[in-house]
Structure 1
Amino acid sequence: MAEILSLLNKKYRLYCYDQVNHQYGFLPHLDELKNSYENFNFDLIITLDCGSVERTKLDKEILSRRPDQPVLEIDHHPITRAYADLEIRDSTAAATTEILYYFLKANKIKINKNMASCILTGILTDTGNFLYPSTSSETVNIASEMLVKGAKLPQIMENTWRNKSIASMKTWGKAMSRLKINQQYKFGFTVLKKEDVPAEVTEEELEGMSGFLSNLNEVNGIMLLRELPDGRIKGSLRTSKPDIDISKLARVLGGGGHAKAAGFTVEGKIEETEKGWKIV
C-alpha cells in the first residue's frame, strides 16, 4: 500500500503497533513503519489484515474519529464487528495481498517489482507455501504472475522460512514434547510457558507452529496455548480437515478467524496439574 501511495504522490504515515521483525527487511518501505504517531489528523485511515478494530491497536482513535475521517478496511478475515466506512473484504481470499492484487487490477495500476514482492510474500506467508486449504487456483495464478513481474522467490523464502534460529527450534521442540491428543475428539493440545521462550526468539519464529502440528494425520485440530509477556495467553487453533470450522471454537473463546486458522487471547497464566494443563 505504501508503494501505491508513493507512486500516486500521496503523503502517508505507516503504523504498526508491534515491532516488525528484521526478517522482512528486504521488503520496500519497511523502514518507514512507526509504532507511534504525533497526531491523528489524517484525511483517510486505511487498515490492512486486522480482522477487528481491536487488532489495529488504534481502536480508541478510530472509534472516536472525526466525521470527516473515513476508514477504509481491506481484509480477508470474516467480519466480526463493522467499524469502517468502506470495506474491501473477501473471506475466501488466501491473503489480504490477494485482495490488493485485484484492487490494483480494478484501478488499472501497473504492478511493479516492489508491489510484486509484497503481494507474493503475503501469499506465501499466509498459505504456508500453498500448504493451507485457503490456497486456490487463483492464488497460485497470482503468485505465478508476481514472479513474472519481478518478485524473487529465493529471496522471499530465505527471509521468511529459512531463517529459524537454534533457540527457536528448541522452543518448537518443547511444544512438541508436550503434545497430547484427546482421543475422544481427536484434538491435539500443547502449551508454551513464558520461560520456555528465550528472549532472543521472535514472534515470527514461532509463527507456523500450530499450522505445522495440524499436519498430524491422527487429529481433527490443534490448539497451541502460549503465555505472553504481558500476562495474557494467546491461543492458536488450526485444522486441515475440510469439514471442520475451527473458528467456531475461537469465537466461543472470544476470538475469531478463518475456518481452518483461528485464534483468541485470554487473561491468565498456564499451570500444570496432576490432571494436565489449565488456565488460572
Structure 2
Amino acid sequence: MFVEVVCYAPYVETAHKNFIETSLLYRNKIIDDSPYDDYIPIDINEAFFGYGYLISSFPSLYDSFGKFMAGLDIESIWNTVFKKIFGESGINESVSEEMSFFDDRKFKDILSEIKIKMRDINAVISSTFVIGKAIAEDKRIKAFARISLEIKMGLLDVIEKEYANYLNWKKKLIIEYAKIMKSYFMTADRVTDINYHITSSDALWPFKVLSSEGKNIGALQRVSRLRTEEMVRRRSTLSKALSIAADMVAGASIGYVVSESPYGAIIGAVVGLIAGIARIFLE
C-alpha cells in the first residue's frame, strides 16, 4: 500500500503544532461558555400589552370599526352637541346679565320719562299711560329677543367646532387602533426572528467552535475543489420528428373538430407543423 505524506519545513510544522495546542486551550474554555446562554426569549404579548394579555384579548380592527360606526348617526350627534351647548346654564345667565344692563341703561329711563310726561298732562290714571307702558315693555321684550339671539348665534361656531371634533375623534381613534395593530404584527415578526436566531445560535455554538478548530488543523492543507460538469440533455433526430408529428396530429384533430370538414383538418395540420418546428428550435 502506497501512502503519500506531505511534509513541511520543521519550523512551519513546529509553529503549526504550537498554534493547534493554543487553540485547543481556548476551545476547552469557550466550548461550554456560549455568549447566547443568558438570553431570555422576549414574549411579544407581554412586552407590547403587559403581563397576562394577548393580541386575542383585544377586538379586531373590523369589530372596533363596526362598534364605532354603528352609532354614527349624524343628525343625532348634531342634536346632542346642539343641546349640550345651548343647554348650559351660563348662556341664560349671560342673557340675564345683558338684560340687567339694558334695564339699567335704557328701560328705567324710558319708564321714568313716560311717567313724567304723563304726570305733566295729568294722564297717569288714564289708558294712555297704560298704552305707553305697554309700548315700553314691547321694546324691552324685543331687546331681550335680540340680545338672546346675538349671544346664541355666536355659539353656532362653537357647536360646529364641537361637532367636527367629535367626528374627527372617532376617525382618529380608528386610525390609531390600526397603527397599533400594524406595529404589533411588524414587531412580533421581528421579535420571533430574533428569538429563533439566538436560540439556534446557542444550540450551534459548540459546532461553531469546533468548526474553527477544524480550520486551524487543516491550515497547512492545500485547497481542493470538486469539479462538476452539468450534463445537457439533447433530443435525437427521431425524437424531434416524433414531436413534430404529434403536433401535426393534434392540429389536424382540432381543425377538424372546429370546422367539421377535411379542409379544417388540413389547415390544423399545417399550423401544428409550424408550431412543432418552432418549439424544437426554441429548446
TM-score, with structure 1 as normaliser: 0.13
RCO comparison, higher one (Cα < 8 Å, 6+): 2
- Which structure's residues are more often helix, by fraction? 2
Larger radius of gyration: 2
TM-score, with structure 2 as normaliser: 0.13
